[in-house]
Structure 1
Amino acid sequence: MPNNQNHLMHMLPRQERARLLSICKPVELVLGDVLCRPGETLRHVHFPVDSFISLVTNTDDHPGLEVGMIGREGMLGAHLALGVARVPLQALVQGAGTAWQADVAAFRRVWPQSLSLHRVMGRYVYVLMAQLASSAACLRYHLIAPRLARWLLMSQDRAHADHFRVTQEFLAYMLGVRRVGVTAAAGALQDAGLISYRRGNMAILDRSGLEAAACSCYAADAAVYTQQLR
């Protein structure tokens, strides 16, 4: 697996990147696997390569709601930068694929030796905070179809492909709506020629059209990321 396929790793100077990679191993993340749950002590950090992870919050007996997404641009375990090992959100593999994995104990030994890693992780924590805030506002104020368009764009960015599998049940779970709402929203996007969706197979047909249909949160999230990590 090439060393520069995770963007946060790629931002590090060569020597510091090599030190971080020396404690990592390549792993295959399996669709639907839960990597950690709220309240647990984090055991591993993950730097996705061609996989991506949903950050899900749970309230009482209600189904979980996605509030963030991590792909090649980031890492799972960034809260370690705050000196906290306890997991705040459930991490669910949304897109199967490869990632670099390191034990938290080993990561903490490397952490003090890398000033660049401190800086990059601090900026990434800021990006995640902005994404969490954006998701909260999006849930409250935006309609399902624009929210679905945003979610599809975020997934495509991290899947690095125009096609991926996703069920209506999973979409309803991620967006915090009933399945009938997802059916109507996906149907509207399909009628507009933006996507093709059949039996769990999602295809993005018109990227620019989907961006126009998405709520403003997608562009806002992208702008924060560009400002902090490009």
Structure 2
Amino acid sequence: MRVVIAGGHGKIALLLEQLLASRGDSVAGLIRNPTQAADLEAVGATAIVVDLEQASASDVASQLRDADAVVFAAGAGPGSGAARKQTVDRDAAILLADAAEAAGVGRYVMVSAISADDRSLDAGYDPVFLAYIQAKSEADADMRARTGLKTTIVRPGRLTDDPGTGLVRIAETTGRGAIPRADVAAVLLAVLDNPESAARTFEVISGDTPVGAALG
């Protein structure tokens, strides 16, 4: 299997790249900063330098021609303002989907956010966080409306750098909770391996069920 991951230098992306490469899959990461290439190579991934905020869908599609699946794990990140939540967390995700369709890649896995569609969050949170949640919700809605992609939307809870346990809770709505990034990467790997997970949107937090069983 060949997988291309947008946001290839992110913490979850690097973990997923290592999981894929260690079992012999071909994996590439889309990165904006060429100085990050060595970190991808260290975990067995190939770095592709492309700025998703500046590139066209055809530019990105040219990098996806031989891919079996794409994963959107990019994000504007801490310290960015509301405008970049739109241009990265929403627009870049949609751009990757457009590129995947143009390149004939049938499988798209989205790393979203827990409670992305819960508009009750609109009260009491700062405007930048609300822009982030709204961007994720709008990107997810775009994915669900597409007929040319087999899409799975994974919505993790609060991310930690704790060691992974391999035990999670997966449900349409889990309630609030945390999850190690390593376990999110394991869930993404299981999703890529499970065609029946297409057309699903689910939340995931730490739990007491092994990843494969939890995914079903």
User: Please, what TM-score do these two structures have when normalized by structure 1?
Assistant: 0.26
* Structure possessing the higher radius of gyration over alpha carbons: 1
Greater share of helix: 1
Q: Highest relative contact order (Cα 8 Å, sep 6+), 1 or 2?
A: 1
